[in-house]
Structure 1
């Protein structure tokens, strides 16, 4: 926010704010909790099946994208709720579009993950 002096915070403070946001989202958002549990299972499976380093990096990128999009979706939903207490078609559309972004990335990630893991079975 302009004028709040945030630019004068040290790098450590800015990192701690970001980590606080991750923890808040992980504690409050059921979908993020589910996605993190799935990520843990996928990473465990990747380790057990000894997928290639390149495939592992792809899996990490996909997990990072899904988790990051979910946090952006959460932030957008909170901002929309803050701005308006009343139902509005544009607010609904904004929330639905952000949720759709998470869903589409999740589906694409599942397809790519399937393509990586399928040959190992």
Structure 2
């Protein structure tokens, strides 16, 4: 039987609302997998404080959107880093320089997103309270 009619991944053959529904369920599974990481849980905890605060600190809708976006960006990058780590761990538990580099680059991306978030928030706070 051909793989076109019987794909390994049934999601590839779904169309319309059925595809959207199943993609949503898969995404929720991704959030559950991310929740297993302590770093993601810490970032979600920070987001529960920072996202509502963005509406108070932002003076315009653009400022509010930017404050919220950088918080969400940190969580997005953390989920991508978790995916990279899971894929590397799937390959094998033994140490390899390529695996280390992949994990290190993912970690560096998370760090950069956190630095960006902090910079935007400090600038907004400075503008709000010292400006």
TM-score, length basis structure 2: 0.82
Establish whether residue 5 from structure 1 lines up as the match of residue 5 from structure 2: no
Match of 2:78 among 70, 76, 91: 70
3-state secondary structure, aligned to 1:41: helix
Change in 2 beyond 3 A, CA 1:4/1:56? same
Distance 1:65 1:47 in 2: 17
5+ unaligned residues in a row in structure 1: which ranges? none
Q: Deviations over 1:60-93 (max 9, x none)?
A: 2212211111000001000100101211111011
Aligned to 2:63: 55
Query: For residues 92 and 58 of structure 2, what CA distance do their matches in structure 1 show?
Result: 49
Decide which of 44, 49, 57 is 1:41's aligned counterpart: 49
TM-score by length of 1: 0.88
Structure 1 stretches of 4+ with a deviation exceeding 6 A read none
Q: Does 1:18 align with 2:32?
A: no
Q: Which has the larger radius of gyration?
A: 2
Q: Structure 2: any 5+ residue segments left out of the alignment? A: 1-6
How much is the aligned-residue C-alpha RMSD, in angstroms? 1.6
How many equivalent residue pairs?
119
Structure with the larger RCO, 1 or 2 (CA within 8 Å, 6+ apart):
1
